[in-house]
Amino acid sequence: MEQFNFDTLTALLNQKIQLKDGSNNIVQLNVEKVSLPRFTTEEYEAFSVDLSSDAEVHCPSGNYLFSHQSFGEVQLFMSPYATDKYQIVVSQKKS
């Protein structure tokens, strides 16, 4: 999770990351937007990642394994907000 951070994801804008579900199905998702919250604290790193898929692909809300050579593999919760649009929200205590 250490490499899955705001700076790494911002560098991946308009690039594909891989999603794998519990049945080992693999989908490529495009990184559309990476955003910081309106209010930040010194104790937590928080950001959101908006992703998109091909129109024929739909992933329900759930935990997925995401991977890319820049951050390795990380399991995260993702929610759809449109047929082919998704969001991951990260809020973690800084070490």
Taking the CA atoms of residue 10, residue 6, residue 84 and residue 69 in that order, the dihedral angle to the nearest 10 degrees is 70
Containing structural domain, residue 88: 6-93
- What pLDDT, in 10s, does the model give residues 29-71? 999 999 999 887 888 889 999 999 998 888 999 999 999 999 9
Question: Among 1-5, 8-12, 48-52, where is mean pLDDT lowest?
Answer: 1-5
Per-chain mean pLDDT for the chain: 93
Domain assignment present for residue 50? The answer is yes
Tell me if 26 is assigned to some domain: yes
State the pLDDT at residue 1: 57
Q: Considering the entire predicted model, what is its pTM?
A: 0.91
Q: What is the pLDDT of residue 43?
A: 85
Q: State how many domains the chain has.
A: 1
- Burial (CB < 10 A; 0-12, 13-18, 19+), residue 83, is exposed
Mean per-residue pLDDT, 2-7: 90
- Domain-embedded: residue 12: yes
Within-domain flag for 22: yes
Residue 20 falls within a domain, yes or no?
A: yes
Does residue 38 belong to any structural domain of this protein? yes
Residue 1 resides in a domain: no
